[in-house]
Amino acid sequence: MNSRADTGQPQTVTGDTPIVEIRNVIKDFGGVRATDNLSLAITPGELHCMIGPNGAGKSTFFKLLMGTIRPSSGTIHFNGEDITRLAPFARARRGLGIKFQNMQVYQELTVFQNFFVPMRRHHKPAEMPELVDRILRRIHLTGLEDETVKNLSHGQQQWLSIGMSIALEPKVLLLDEPAAGMGPEETASTAEIIKALNAEGMTIIVIEHDMEFIRSLNSRTSVLHLGALFAQGSYEDIERNEDVHKIYLGKA
Amino acid sequence: MKRSGIFGILGLLNGPQTMGRGWVFWIGFVVFVVLAYLGPTHLGLKPYKINEFLISGFLAASLSILWGYCGILSLGQVAFFGIGGYVWGVIGINLWDSTGNTHLAFLGGILAPTAFAAIVGAAMFLARLKGVYIAILMLVLSLLLETFMLQTADPEVYSIGKAVLGGSNGLRPASDIPNAAFGWGESVVDFNGRRAEFYYFALTLLILTYLGLRMLLNSSFGYLLVAVREDPDRTETFGYDVRLIQLAVFCIAAAIAGLAGSLDTARINRVDPEVFGVSANIMVVIWVAVGGRKDLTAAILGAISLEWLFLWLTTSGNPEYATIVMGAILVGVMLIAPEGIFVFIGERLRVLFGKSGLFSVERKDSVI
Ligand SMILES: Nc1ncnc2c1ncn2[C@@H]1O[C@H](COP(=O)(O)OP(=O)(O)OP(=O)(O)O)[C@@H](O)[C@H]1O
Ligand SMILES: [Mg+2]
Q: Which positions ≥6 away from B22 have C-beta within 8 Å?
A: B14, B353, B357, B358, B359, B360, B361
Q: Do A177 and A82 share a domain, yes or no?
A: yes
Distance (Å, rounded) from C-alpha B246 to C-alpha B231? 13
Q: Ligand 1 pocket, A190 CB below 6 A? A: no
Confidence check: pLDDT of A11 > 70:
no
Interchain CB distance below 8 Å, A87 and B368: no
Per DSSP (E only), the strands in chain B are 159-160, 163-164, 180-182, 189-191
Q: What is the structure's pLDDT at B235?
A: 93
In a domain, A157, yes or no: yes
Domain range for A165:
103-169
Neighbours of ion ligand 2 (CB under 5 A): A 59, 101
Quickly state the pLDDT bin for A67 (edges 50, 70, 90). very high
Looking at the structure, do residues A181 and A243 belong to the same domain, yes or no? yes
Q: Which amino acid is at A28?
A: D
**Cα distances (angstroms) measured from residue A146 to each of A26, A133, A155, B220, B356:** 44, 12, 17, 18, 19
For residue A55, how far is its CA from the centre of ligand 2 (angstroms)?
Answer: 7
Ligand 1 neighbour A59 (Cβ under 6 A): yes
Separation between Cα atoms, residue B228 and residue B225, nearest integer Å: 5
Residue A74 beta carbon below 6 angstroms from any ligand 1 atom: no
Asked if residue A110 and residue A201 are part of one domain, the reply reads no
- Residues A205, A230, single domain; the answer is yes
State how far the Cα of A234 lies from the Cα of A244, in Å rounded to an integer: 13
User: Quick one: A109 and A88 in the same domain?
Assistant: no
A116 to chain B: which residues are within 8 Å by CB?
A: 220, 223, 367-368
Give the pLDDT confidence of A210-219 residue by residue, as tens digits.
888 999 998 9
A69 and A119 assigned to the same domain: no
Task: Tell me the C-alpha distance between B221 and B225, whole Å.
Answer: 6
Ranking A52-66, A71-85, B158-172, B268-282 by mean pLDDT, the lowest is: B158-172
Note whether residue A11 is domain-resident.
no
The confidence score (pLDDT) of residue A250 equals: 66
Q: Are residues A152 and A183 in the same domain?
A: no
pLDDT value for A15: 58
Shared domain for A161 and A185, answered yes or no, is no
Tell me, yes or no, whether A88 and A176 share the same domain: yes
User: Distance (Å) from the C-alpha of residue B70 to the closest C-alpha of chain A?
Assistant: 13
The interface pTM score, or ipTM, of the predicted complex is 0.86
For chain B, which residues score pLDDT lower than 70? 1-11, 15, 354-368
Residue B20, pLDDT score: 73
Ligand 1 pocket residue status of A29, Cβ below 6 Å: yes
Average pLDDT over residues A143-152: 89
Measured between alpha carbons, how far is A199 from A217 in angstroms, rounded to an integer? 12
Residue A13 in domain: no
Query: A18 near A80, Cβ under 8 Å?
Result: no
**pLDDT band, residue A175 (cuts 50/70/90):** very high
Q: Considering its fold, how many domains does chain A have in total?
A: 2
Q: How far apart are CA A231 and CA A238, in angstroms?
A: 7
The whole-model pTM stands at 0.88
Please give the C-alpha separations between residue B146 and each of A91, B129, B172, B365, in angstroms, as whole numbers: 43, 24, 17, 49
Are A81 and A127 in a shared domain? no
Question: Taking 80 as the threshold, does the pLDDT of residue A190 lie above it?
Answer: yes
Residue B310 pLDDT: 87
Pairing of strands A172-176, A96-99: parallel
**Helix boundaries (H) for B127-241:** 131-150, 196-218, 220-230, 232-236
Do residues A24 and A88 both lie within one domain? yes
CATH of the domain at A245: 3.40.50.300
Question: Among A147, A169, A191, where does a domain finish?
Answer: A169
* Chain A residues with CB-CB distance to B224 below 8 A: 117, 120
Residue, of B37 and A122, whose pLDDT is higher? B37
Helix pair A111-120, B220-230: axis angle to 10 deg:
110
Which residue in A has a C-alpha nearest to residue B242's C-alpha? A89
The reply to whether A188 falls in a domain is yes
Tell me whether residue A204 is in a domain.
yes
pLDDT at A3 over 80: no
Min Cα separation A118/chain B (Å)? 5
Half-sphere exposure of B146 (CA within 13 A, CB side): 18
> Would the pLDDT of A2 be above 60?
no
- Same domain flag for A87 and A112: no
CA pair distance B150, B143, nearest whole angstrom: 10
Residue A6: inside a domain, yes or no? no
Atom of ligand 1 nearest to the CA of A57: 18
Contacts of B234 in chain A (CB under 8 A): 100, 104-106
Domain boundary among A152, A169, A186: A169
Distance of CA A17 from the midpoint of ligand 2 (Å): 28
Tell me whether residue A1 is in a domain.
Answer: no
Q: Bridge partners of A41?
A: A21
Is residue A123 in some structural domain?
yes
Region A114-121: mean pLDDT is 88
Q: Give the count of beta carbons closer than 10 Å to the beta carbon of residue A29.
A: 10
Q: Which helix (H) or strand (E) holds B52?
A: helix B47-63
- What is the residue extent of each domain of chain B? 51-349
Which of B103, B38, B66 has its CA nearest to residue B284?
Answer: B66
